[in-house]
Chains A and B, each alone.
Chain A
Amino acid sequence: GAVVSQHPSRVICKSGTSVKIECRSLDFQATTMFWYRQFPKKSLMLMATSNEGSKATYEQGVEKDKFLINHASLTLSTLTVTSAHPEDSSFYICSAREGSWADTQYFGPGTRLTVL
Chain B
Amino acid sequence: AQSVAQPEDQVNVAEGNPLTVKCTYSVSGNPYLFWYVQYPNRGLQFLLKYITGDNLVKGSYGFEAEFNKSQTSFHLKKPSALVSDSALYFCAVRELDTGYSTLTFGKGTMLLVSP
Contacts and interface: CB of A to CB of B under 8 A. Distances in A.
Interface residues of B, number: 22
Main SS of chain B's interface residues?
loop
B41 interface: yes
Given A43-B105, A46-B102, A104 B46 contact: yes
A106 interface: yes
A107 B102 contact: no
A44 interface: yes
Interface string B28-49: 0000101010000111111001
A109 interface: yes
Contacts of A70: none
- A-side interface mostly: strand
Interface residues of A, number: 23
Contacts of A101: 99-100
4 shortest A-B CB distances, which residue pairs? A107-B44, A107-B43, A101-B99, A109-B43
Interface of A: 1, 4, 6, 34, 41-44, 46, 49, 91, 93, 95, 101-102, 104-110, 112
6 contacts: A44-B44, A95-B44, A102-B96, A105-B46, A106-B46, A109-B43
Interface of B: 32, 34, 36, 41-46, 49, 51, 60, 90, 96, 99-100, 102-103, 105-108
